[in-house]
Amino acid sequence: MLKSTKLIMALCVSGMLAVMPANGEETKTAQISLAPPEVTQTKLDNGLEIIVIPDRRAPVVTHMIWYKAGSADEPTGKSGIAHFLEHLMFKGTKTVPAGEFSKKVAEIGGQENAFTSVDYTAYYQKIAPEALEMAMGYEADRMHNLILSDEVIEPEKKVILEERRSRIDSEPRSILQETVEATLFKHHPYGTPIIGWQNEMLGLSKDDAIAFYNKFYSPNNAVLVVAGDVEPSEVIALAQKTYGKVEKRVEDIVRQRVVEPEPVTSRIINYEDPRVTKPSFSRMYLVPSYIGAAAKEAESLELLAAILGGSSTSRLYKSLVLEKEISTSAGAWYQGGSYDMTKFGFYGSPRGDEKIEDVELAVDEVINQLLKDGITQTELDNARNNLLKSAIFDRDSQTNMARLYGTVLSIGGDLDDINLWPERLAAVTIEEVNAVAKKYLRKNRSVTAFLRPQS
Binding site for a copy of itself (CB under 8 A): 76-77, 79, 175-176, 178-179, 182-183, 186-187, 191-192, 197-200, 256, 258-259, 261, 263-271, 443-444
| Among the listed residues 410, 423, 435, the one whose alpha carbon sits nearest the alpha carbon of residue 301 | 435
Which residue out of 49, 74, 86, 379 is catalytically annotated? 86
Sheet holding 222-228, edge to edge: 40-43, 49-54, 222-228, 61-67, 121-127, 111-116
* DSSP classification of residue 231: -
Q: Closer to a copy of itself by CB, 268 or 294: give it.
A: 268
Q: Looking at beta carbons only, is 185 or 334 nearer to a copy of itself?
A: 185
Beta carbon of residue 209, minimum distance to a copy of itself (angstroms, whole number) = 18
Q: Which is nearer to a copy of itself, 29 or 270 (CB)?
A: 270
Shortest Cβ distance from residue 185 to a copy of itself (Å)? 9
* Shortest spacing between CB 413 and a copy of itself, in angstroms: 23
Cβ(383)–Cβ(306) under 8 Å?
yes
Choose between 79 and 410: whose C-beta lies nearer to a copy of itself. Answer: 79
Q: What are the strands, taking DSSP E only, across 4-75?
A: 15-19, 28-32, 40-43, 49-54, 61-67
Among residues 346, 335, 345, 347, which one has the least CA distance to residue 293? 335
CB of 167: closest distance to a copy of itself in angstroms? Answer: 15
Closest by Cα among 251, 443, 281 to 360 = 281
Of residues 241 and 438, the one with the C-beta less far from a copy of itself: 438
Separation CA 243–CA 265 (nearest Å): 49
Give me the least distance between CB of 196 and a copy of itself, in Å please: 10
CA distances 357 to 270, 281, 344, 346, 450, Å, are 12, 8, 20, 14, 9
CB of 334 to a copy of itself, least distance (A): 24
Least Å from the CB of residue 73 to a copy of itself: 12
Catalytic site residue 231? no
As to burial, measured by CB atoms within 10 angstroms (0-12 exposed, 13-18 middle, 19+ buried), residue 261 is: exposed
Residue type present at position 406: G
Q: Which residues contact 269 (CB under 8 A, 6 or more apart)?
A: 176, 179, 180, 183, 447, 448, 449, 450
Secondary structure of residue 230 in the 3-state scheme: coil
Name the residue nearer to a copy of itself (CB basis): 263 or 310: 263
Max Cα distance, the chain (Å) = 65
Q: Tally Cβ neighbours within 10 Å of residue 257.
A: 15
H or E element in which residue 452 lies: strand 446-453
Which residues are catalytic, by number? 86
